[in-house]
Amino acid sequence: MRRKDRKVVESRFKEIILACHCCRLGFNDDGKIYIVPLNFGYHEENNKQVFYFHGAAEGRKIELIKKNKYVGFELDTSYKLITSNLPCNHSAIYQSIIGNGKVSFVEDEDEKKLALRMIMEHSTGKKDWQFTDSMVSSVCVFKLEVLEISGKENL
């Protein structure tokens, strides 16, 4: 990172991640990059960082997960343009997290329910969501296990 003064310390990653509303996954589709914005749930346990996502069980994203388990990801928040009378003196306030990881499908019913609760909690702030077996079986849940992560901010 060129601007070391804007580097986010690891202890603040979770705070910034939880302030974000969208996680963008970048897939390699035979040399073409395919970026998908997704709602997410986030979980840390035993020094592991995991993002959970859900969606239809078919489509380009699902085919790309089957083809290549490794993706890049990006989240950002707090954006505000700082204007100036000179064009090259414009700047921005922001916080961002980027990284890469390994994506896999969640097949275990209990983990799927946990993932769906985390996604709903992150989106709504409400924790006590319940899911029937038919709800769980009707949706594809997948997770991103973080391999590398970094953050940058200008506040």
For residue range 80-108, what is the model confidence (pLDDT) as tens digits?
999 999 989 999 999 999 999 999 999 99
Chain centroid to CA 135: how far?
23
> pLDDT averaged over the chain?
94
Residues 84 and 95: their CA atoms lie apart, in Å, by 21
Residues 1 and 15: their CA atoms lie apart, in Å, by 20
The strand pairing partners of 152, in sequence order, are: 7, 96
Q: Which listed CATH number (2.30.110.10, 3.60.150.10, 3.40.50.2300, 3.40.30.10) goes with 4-148?
A: 2.30.110.10
What 3 state SS string does 96-117 have?
Answer: EEEEEEEEEECCCHHHHHHHHH
Q: pLDDT, tens digit, for every residue of 127-151?
A: 999 999 999 999 999 999 999 999 9
21 vs 41, 75, 76, 81, 133, CA distance in Å? Answer: 10, 8, 8, 19, 27
pTM (2 decimals)? 0.92
